[in-house]
Chain A
Amino acid sequence: MDKNRVKVPYSKLKETLIEKALLACALISVIVVILIFFLLFSQGLPTFGQVTISDFLLGPKWEPTSEVRVLLGTLPLLYGTMIVTLVAMAISVPLGLIIAIYIAEVARPLEKELLKPIIELLAGVPSVIYGLFAMVTLATWIQQLTGTSYRLNALNGGVILAIMVLPTIVSLAEDAITAVPREYREAATALGASKWEAIRSVLLPSASSGILAAVFLGFGRAIGETMAVLMATGNLATIGSILEPTRTMTATIAIETPEVAFGSLHYSALFALATELFLITFIFNYLASAIGKRLRRMGR
Chain B
Amino acid sequence: MEWKIVVISLVAGLLLGTAIGYFVTPWIQPDENKTDGKTGLTGNIVVKGSDTLLIVAQRWAENFSTQHPNVRIDVSGGGSGVGFTALKDKTTDICDASREIKSSEVSACKANGVNPVEWVVGLDGIAIVVNPSNPINELTLEQLEMIYNGTYTNWNQVGGNNAPIIKYGRQSTSGTYAFFREHVLHNKDFVGVTELAGNADIVSSVQSDANGIGYVGVAYTKQGVTVKVLSIKASASAPAYQPTVDAVKSGSYSIARKLYIYTNGVPSGVLAEYVAFIIGPQGQQLLEIEGYVSYVKTDK
Contacts and interface: CB of A to CB of B under 8 A. Distances in A.
Tier of interface size on chain A: 20 to 34
Interface stretch (A30-38, A74-82, A169-177, A258-266): A258-266
A64 B187 CA distance: 14
Interface string B187-206: 11100111111000000110
B194 A261 contact: no
Contact of A259 (B82, B187, B192, B194): B82
B195 A259 contact: no
Given A149-B164, A149-B211, A151-B208, A68 B82 contact: no
Contact of A68 (B79, B171, B189): B189
B143 to A, nearest CB: 19
Interface in A218-255: 230, 234-236, 238, 245, 247, 255
A236 B193 contact: yes
B187 A258 contact: no
Contact of A236 (B81, B82, B195): B195
B189 A236 contact: no
A42 interface: no
Interface of B is mostly: mixed
Contact of B173 (A152, A236, A259, A262): A259
A255 B171 contact: yes
Given A151-B208, A255-B171, A255-B173, A67 B194 contact: no
B172 interface: yes
Interface in A134-152: 136, 140, 149-152
Interface in B135-194: 163-164, 166, 171-173, 178, 181-182, 187-189, 192-194
B209 interface: yes
A258 B79 CA distance: 9
A65 B169 CA distance: 15
Given A66-B189, A236-B193, A151 B181 contact: no
A68 B88 contact: no
B108 interface: yes
A180 to B, nearest CB: 31
Given A67-B181, A152-B205, A258 B85 contact: yes
A255 B172 CA distance: 9
A234 B178 CA distance: 19
A276 interface: no
A66 B19 CA distance: 47
Nearest to A244: B192
A227 to B, nearest CB: 11
A63 interface: yes
A245 B188 CA distance: 21
Interface in A152-186: 152
A256 interface: yes
B132 interface: no
B173 A256 contact: yes
Contacts of B187: 67-68
Contacts of B267: none
Contacts of A65: 172, 178
A148 to B, nearest CB: 10
Nearest to B80: A259
A32 to B, nearest CB: 20
B27 to A, nearest CB: 31
A63 to B, nearest CB: 6
Contacts of A256: 171-173
A152 B206 CA distance: 12
B172 A259 contact: yes
B163 A261 contact: no
A125 to B, nearest CB: 21
Contacts of B108: 261
Contact of B182 (A64, A67, A149, A230): A67
Contacts of A262: 89
A259 B178 CA distance: 13
Interface in B91-109: 104-105, 108
A238 B193 CA distance: 10
B280 interface: no
B88 A150 contact: no
Contacts of A152: 194, 205
A235 B194 contact: yes
A235 B171 contact: yes
Nearest to A238: B192
A149 B163 contact: yes
B205 A236 contact: no
Contact of B85 (A64, A150, A235, A260): A260
A151 B173 contact: no
A236 to B, nearest CB: 5
A160 B112 CA distance: 43
Interface of B: 78-79, 81-82, 84-85, 88-89, 104-105, 108, 163-164, 166, 171-173, 178, 181-182, 187-189, 192-197, 204-205, 208-209, 211
25 contacts: A63-B189, A65-B178, A67-B181, A136-B204, A140-B208, A149-B163, A149-B164, A150-B166, A151-B205, A152-B205, A234-B194, A234-B196, A235-B194, A235-B196, A236-B193, A238-B192, A256-B171, A256-B173, A258-B85, A258-B173, A259-B79, A259-B81, A259-B84, A259-B173, A262-B89
User: What are the 7 A-B residue pairs with the smallest beta carbon separation, nearest first?
Assistant: A259-B81, A234-B194, A235-B195, A259-B173, A67-B187, A65-B172, A258-B82
